[in-house]
């Protein structure tokens, strides 16, 4: 049985996504996060789709993409027919991710080399056992 909530208040969504409530409002103003329905009292009520989208935005940001780029990608995701540029935009994202993966792989190799050199040098230290 799934115990995840079906709706979230602003503070609950902020906690679930580990962001501030002002970040949610900012994303709404920028068009990154659809404005949620409101209660009669005017409180925002977010659904699981808001959390999913918010987590996707964060994941894409961690890859180094800017909010304007993310906005474009989200538009393609919502309505691929809106722009003939959709495939090109998505390919641009894929290319950047591939380059980042190559950079990370090269960095890993360099760090492993530094580690091995450090271990070898430690063996030469007088206190090494």
Predicted pLDDT at 24 = 92
Residue 48 lies in a domain: yes
Predicted pLDDT at 2 = 55
Residue 75 lies in a domain: no
Write the pLDDT tens digit of every residue in 34-52.
Answer: 989 999 999 999 999 999 9
- The total number of residues shown for the chain amounts to 129
Does the pTM exceed 0.75? no
Residue 59 lies in a domain: yes
Q: Within this chain, do residues 96 and 40 fall inside the same structural domain, yes or no? A: no
Residue 36 lies in a domain: yes
Which residues, 6 or more positions from 80, have their beta carbon under 8 angstroms from its beta carbon? 86
Q: 34 lies in which domain range?
A: 1-64
Residue 69 lies in a domain: no
Write the pLDDT tens digit of every residue in 75-112.
Answer: 888 887 777 777 888 888 899 999 999 999 999 999 99
Write the pLDDT tens digit of every residue in 55-68.
Answer: 999 999 988 889 98
With 0-12 / 13-18 / 19 or more C-beta atoms within 10 angstroms meaning exposed / middle / buried, residue 126 is exposed
d(CA 50, CA 32): 10
- With b meaning 16 or more CB within 10 Å and e meaning fewer, what string describes 82-97? eeeebeebeeebeeee
Check the CA dihedral 58-59-60-61 and report its sign. Answer: positive
């Amino acid at each position: 049985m799934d115990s995840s909530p079906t709706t979230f208040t602003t503070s609950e969504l902020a906690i679930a996504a580990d962001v501030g409530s002002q970040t949610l409002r900012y994303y709404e103003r920028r068009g990154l996060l659809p404005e949620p329905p409101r209660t009669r009292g005017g409180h925002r009520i977010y659904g699981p789709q808001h959390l999913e989208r918010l987590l996707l935005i964060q994941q894409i940001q961690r890859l180094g993409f800017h909010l304007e780029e993310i906005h474009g990608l989200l538009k393609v995701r919502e309505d691929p027919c809106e722009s003939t540029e959709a495939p090109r935009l998505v390919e641009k994202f894929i290319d950047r991710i591939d380059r980042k993966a190559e950079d990370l792989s090269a960095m890993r190799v360099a760090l492993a080399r530094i580690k091995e050199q450090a271990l070898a040098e430690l063996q030469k230290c007088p206190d090494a056992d």
